[in-house]
Amino acid sequence: MAATVFILNGPNLNLLGEREPEIYGREPLADIEARARSHAVSMDLEIDFRQSNHEGALIDAVHEARGKAVAVIVNAGGLTHTSVALLDALNAFDGIVVEVHLSNIHRREEFRHHSYVAAAATGSICGFGSHGYIMALDAVHNLLERASA
């Protein structure tokens, strides 16, 4: 049976492809999801892909991942820089956590340089656009392979 990975996307990511394409790219979230699903199949991973503009819904999804998923890949959007509650939920998840950002948050506005999510993350990927999701899946797969060896 395939291991499950939750991929969680935060506020405004439903607007990818439309909102500030010079920063976030022109690819809609549905296309990112399709690529992630296709890539995951080759590694025998199952994807539960979600997006919400509501902090509580993302926290609920992390809670749901407990006991169901081996990993959570999270692009928390603006909540990255503000949500201690999301950090607490991620800290309660006993699995791999990979933080993903389309843009390089460290080259942007000062307030974006701090990530609460990073404090719970096994690792962080930023600045590679939508390919960051593929990189995150590769990282999860590699960590799982090492753990089972």
Active site residue 116: no
Between the CA atoms of 41, 43, 45 and 50, what dihedral angle is there, to the nearest 10 degrees? -70
Going by DSSP bridges, is the β-strand pair 96-101/123-126 parallel, antiparallel, or unpaired?
parallel
Residue 102 and residue 124 in contact, taking contact as beta carbons nearer than 8 Å: no
Active site residue 114: no
Task: Say how far apart CA 132 and CA 42 lie, in whole Å.
Answer: 17
Residue 72 and residue 6 in contact, taking contact as beta carbons nearer than 8 Å: yes
- Out of 39, 63, 81, 101, which one is annotated catalytic? 101
- Out of 24, 116, 133, 141, which one is annotated catalytic? 24
CB atoms under 10 Å from CB of 108, counted, come to 14
Which residues are marked as active site?
A: 24, 101
